[in-house]
């Protein structure tokens, strides 16, 4: 059986305890045929990068509702790069003010999703990103 | 082949990539297994199985911690974890959630955790779980903890793969009839009653003890009887008395770490038993033989499929559908070429 499954790490870095969004997205990605490694709450950026490495994922999806995204995201991207995983596509969802979105994209985040996002859009963007096409 | 050399030298990213290639069954993954195989044989493979929600992941977390920092003062062991969760039969997707209970192991370079989806394989493991364990063994992980999907009554493949199989139960899951049914309880080298702080723990333990009294010593330990590939297994050479292992029953509360040191000690005792009774060698031999049989069957079938045209095959299926021939006659017709 030689098949290529998209492997995604869904993690919640930071200290807020609301994992509903992360679970909904994890479930949607599963239903789209992806293999989703779900880590649960309160991961540090170091733990995210370590799990991404051991699991050799194609995509890291982070849920951040605490407002700490501008501190956490650069750190995660930096650690992934330091581990030789700059090819991993990083997405973030949660409460992200509009003015931060361009800055996150500049850092290398591939997609930013706020409340009301359709899970179908996330699935589509992940598929595009992994297969090499640009995400709008 | 660079990836193999680098994984053998301890590069974790190379190891992770290699595991992906092996899991996906790529040609590179296949070649990597050839190269890795002669570096294997050093690891103690410990299977952890049991119904969903009995606390397998939490136990794996605790055991891995103990191997990193052994309570008996022995040297710290490198620990690999392979955790299998089910794939959706409808979408092929999976949620792999075992890491949620293993966060204590984060940040330790002596631990490597890999989650995998069952990808349609029944039996509690994925088709390539044994190969991933092999790769971790070659990469120098001395203890490999293999967590099955939440298993019911027939997911017993883990006993073929692991040297030591832990079957995890929890209070309130079944009565004595469940305990004497054939299947998963028979494969246990060690029975663990986890969540032992819950009511009903005495009943669960009593049921398991009753089952063990019925099963031993009439049944030879470590032997189970469902696989055809065991037909060729040679008779046990050591004397039966010396090689009897009565599975102990241990109570644990994995989330609090209660009873896990005793479990760790029982696993160590089982390893000594395996070595001294000759059972280690016997199990290795049976495992390799059954693996060989499976590979042989898969390869023979795929080679044979190339020799038969799709039309001829569908033609036989049509005749089956019309009740013209029986399935047994169909097989003969396909294999012998006459219809």
Give the model's pLDDT for residue B12: 96
Give yes or no for residue A134 having a pLDDT over 50: no
Query: How many Å apart are CA B59 and CA B98, to the nearest integer?
Result: 11
Instruction: List the single best residue of A6, A36, A37 to mutate versus B (max B Cβ within 10 A).
Output: A37
Q: Look at B92 and A5 and tell me if their CB atoms are within 8 Å.
A: yes
SS3 A134: coil
Same domain, B52 and B155: yes
Report yes or no on B136 lying in a domain: yes
Q: Look at B87 and A35 and tell me if their CB atoms are within 8 Å.
A: yes
Give yes or no for residue B243 having a pLDDT over 90: no
Give yes or no for residue B3 having a pLDDT over 80: yes
Per the structure, how many domains does chain B have? Answer: 2
Report yes or no on B96 lying in a domain: yes
Report yes or no on B205 lying in a domain: yes
Which residue of chain A has the CA closest to B13? A53
Determine contact, residues A95/A67, Cβ cutoff 8 Å: yes
Same domain, B190 and B148: yes
Q: Which of B92, B91, B36, B22 is nearest to A56 (CA)?
A: B22
Give the model's pLDDT for residue B154: 64
Confidence class of residue B206 from pLDDT cuts 50, 70 and 90? confident
Same domain, B91 and B24: no
Give yes or no for residue B207 having a pLDDT over 90: no
Instruction: Provide the domain limits for residue B7.
Output: 1-39
Q: Look at A32 and B91 and tell me if their CB atoms are within 8 Å.
A: yes
Give yes or no for residue B220 having a pLDDT over 50: no
How far apart are the CA of A93 and the nearest CA of chain B, in angstroms? Answer: 18
Same domain, B35 and B49: no
> Each residue of B266-291: pLDDT tens digit?
999 999 999 999 999 999 998 899 88
> Each residue of B287-336: pLDDT tens digit?
899 889 988 988 898 888 888 888 989 999 999 999 999 999 999 988 88
Question: Can you give the CATH number for the domain in which B104 is found?
Answer: 3.40.50.300
Give the model's pLDDT for residue A42: 85
Q: Look at B93 and A33 and tell me if their CB atoms are within 8 Å.
A: yes
Confidence class of residue A40 from pLDDT cuts 50, 70 and 90? confident
Confidence class of residue B338 from pLDDT cuts 50, 70 and 90? low
> Each residue of B98-117: pLDDT tens digit?
999 998 999 999 999 999 99
pTM for this prediction: 0.87
Give yes or no for residue B219 having a pLDDT over 50: no
Same domain, B27 and B82: no
Could you tell me whether strands B111-117 and B79-85 are parallel, antiparallel, or unpaired per DSSP bridges? parallel
Place of tokens 């395996």: B274
Report yes or no on B110 lying in a domain: yes
How far apart are the CA of B99 and the nearest CA of chain A, in angstroms? Answer: 5
> Each residue of B167-188: pLDDT tens digit?
998 887 765 556 556 567 778 9
Give yes or no for residue B233 having a pLDDT over 70: no
- Tokens representing A14 are 């930071």
- The ipTM value here is 0.91
Instruction: List the single best residue of A54, A85, A88, A130 to mutate versus B (max B Cβ within 10 A).
Output: A54
Class of domain A7-67+96-129: alpha beta
B195 touches chain A (CB under 8 A): no
How far apart are the CA of B114 and the nearest CA of chain A, in angstroms? Answer: 6
Report yes or no on B299 lying in a domain: no
Which residue of chain A has the CA closest to B114? A55
B270 touches chain A (CB under 8 A): no
Same domain, B125 and B259: yes
How far apart are the CA of B288 and the nearest CA of chain A, in angstroms? Answer: 21
Same domain, B96 and B179: yes
How far apart are the CA of A101 and the nearest CA of chain B, in angstroms? Answer: 28
What residues of B are in contact with residue A9 (Cβ under 8 Å)?
Answer: none
Q: Look at B13 and A85 and tell me if their CB atoms are within 8 Å.
A: yes
Determine contact, residues A10/A51, Cβ cutoff 8 Å: no
Q: What is the mean pLDDT of residues B155-172?
A: 88
Q: Look at A46 and B106 and tell me if their CB atoms are within 8 Å.
A: yes
Output the CA angle B103-B108-B112, nearest 5 degrees.
80
Report yes or no on B294 lying in a domain: no
Query: How many Å apart are CA B139 and CA A54, to the nearest integer?
Result: 13
> Each residue of A104-119: pLDDT tens digit?
999 999 999 999 999 9
Same domain, B100 and B112: yes
Q: What does the DSSP assignment read for A72-88? A: HHHHHHHHHHHTT-TTS
Q: Look at A40 and B26 and tell me if their CB atoms are within 8 Å.
A: no
What residues of A are in contact with residue B88 (Cβ under 8 Å)?
Answer: 30-31
Same domain, B261 and B158: yes
SS3 A92: strand
Q: Look at A2 and B12 and tell me if their CB atoms are within 8 Å.
A: no
How far apart are the CA of A34 and the nearest CA of chain B, in angstroms? Answer: 5
Query: How many Å apart are CA B149 and CA B86, to the nearest integer?
Result: 6
Among the partner residues B13, B16, B95, nearest to A38 by beta-carbon distance: B95
Confidence class of residue A8 from pLDDT cuts 50, 70 and 90? very high
SS (H, E, C) A24-75: HHHHHHHHCCCEEEECCCCECHHHHHHHHHHHCCCEEEEEECCCCHHHHHHH
> Each residue of B58-107: pLDDT tens digit?
999 999 999 999 999 999 999 999 999 999 888 999 999 999 999 899 99
Query: How many Å apart are CA B243 and CA B274, to the nearest integer?
Result: 8
Q: Look at A27 and B95 and tell me if their CB atoms are within 8 Å.
A: yes
Give the model's pLDDT for residue B124: 85
Report yes or no on B53 lying in a domain: yes
Among the partner residues A2, A43, A83, nearest to B25 by beta-carbon distance: A2
Same domain, B31 and B127: no
Could you tell me whether strands B164-169 and B190-193 are parallel, antiparallel, or unpaired per DSSP bridges? parallel
B93 touches chain A (CB under 8 A): yes
Report yes or no on B335 lying in a domain: no
Q: For chain A, which residues lie within 8 Å of any Cβ of chain B, measuring from their own Cβ? A: 1-5, 7, 26-27, 29-40, 43-44, 46-47, 50-51, 53-56, 83-85
* Residue B194 burial class via C-beta count within 10 angstroms: exposed 0-12, middle 13-18, buried 19 and up: buried
Q: What is the mean pLDDT of residues B208-236?
A: 52
Determine contact, residues A13/A46, Cβ cutoff 8 Å: no
What is the average pLDDT score of chain A? 91
Give B234's contacts (C-beta < 8 A, 6+ positions apart): none
Confidence class of residue B192 from pLDDT cuts 50, 70 and 90? very high
Same domain, B22 and B95: no
Same domain, B114 and B251: yes
B149 touches chain A (CB under 8 A): no
Determine contact, residues B159/B187, Cβ cutoff 8 Å: yes
């Amino acid at each position: 059986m030689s098949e290529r499954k998209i492997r995604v790490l869904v993690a919640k870095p930071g200290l807020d305890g609301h994992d509903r969004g992360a679970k909904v997205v994890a479930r949607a990605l599963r239903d789209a045929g992806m293999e989703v490694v779900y880590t649960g709450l309160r991961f540090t950026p170091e733990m995210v990068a370590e799990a991404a490495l051991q699991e050799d994922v194609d995509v890291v999806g982070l849920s951040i509702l605490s407002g700490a995204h501008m501190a956490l995201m650069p750190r995660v991207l930096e650690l992934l790069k330091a581990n030789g995983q700059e090819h991993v596509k990083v997405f973030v969802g949660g409460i992200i003010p509009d003015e931060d979105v361009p800055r996150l994209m500049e850092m290398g985040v591939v997609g930013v999703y706020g409340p009301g996002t359709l899970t179908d859009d996330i699935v589509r963007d992940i598929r595009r990103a992994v297969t090499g096409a640009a995400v709008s | 082949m660079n990836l193999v050399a680098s994984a053998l030298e301890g590069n974790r990213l190379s190891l992770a990539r290699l595991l992906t290639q092996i899991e996906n069954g790529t040609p590179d993954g296949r070649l990597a297994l050839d190269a890795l195989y002669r570096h294997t044989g050093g690891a103690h493979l410990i299977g952890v199985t049991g119904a969903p929600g009995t606390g397998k992941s939490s136990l794996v977390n605790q055991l891995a911690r103990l191997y990193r920092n052994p309570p008996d003062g022995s040297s710290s062991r490198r620990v690999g974890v392979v955790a299998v969760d089910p794939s959706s039969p409808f979408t092929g997707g999976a949620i792999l959630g075992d890491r949620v209970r293993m966060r204590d192991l984060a940040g330790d370079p002596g631990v490597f955790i890999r989650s995998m989806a069952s990808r349609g394989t029944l039996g509690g493991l994925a088709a390539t779980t044994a190969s991933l364990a092999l790769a971790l063994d070659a990469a120098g992980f001395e203890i490999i903890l293999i967590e099955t999907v939440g298993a019911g009554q027939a997911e017993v493949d883990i006993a073929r793969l692991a040297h030591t199989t832990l079957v995890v139960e929890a209070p309130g899951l079944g009565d004595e009839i469940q305990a004497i049914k054939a299947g998963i309880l028979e494969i246990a080298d060690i029975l663990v009653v986890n969540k032992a702080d819950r009511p009903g723990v005495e009943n669960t333990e009593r049921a398991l003890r009753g089952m063990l009294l019925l099963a031993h010593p009439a049944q030879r330990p470590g032997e189970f009887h469902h696989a055809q590939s065991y037909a060729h297994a040679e008779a046990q050479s050591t004397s039966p008395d010396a090689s009897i292992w009565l599975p102990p029953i241990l109570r644990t509360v994995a989330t609090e770490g209660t009873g896990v040191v005793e479990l760790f000690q029982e696993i160590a005792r089982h390893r000594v038993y395996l070595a001294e009774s000759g059972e280690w060698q016997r199990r290795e031999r049976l495992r390799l033989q059954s693996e060989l049989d499976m590979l042989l069957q898969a390869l023979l079938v795929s080679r044979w499929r190339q020799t038969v045209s799709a039309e001829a095959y569908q033609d036989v299926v049509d005749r089956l559908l019309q009740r013209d021939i029986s399935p047994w006659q169909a097989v003969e017709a396909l294999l012998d070429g006459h219809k």
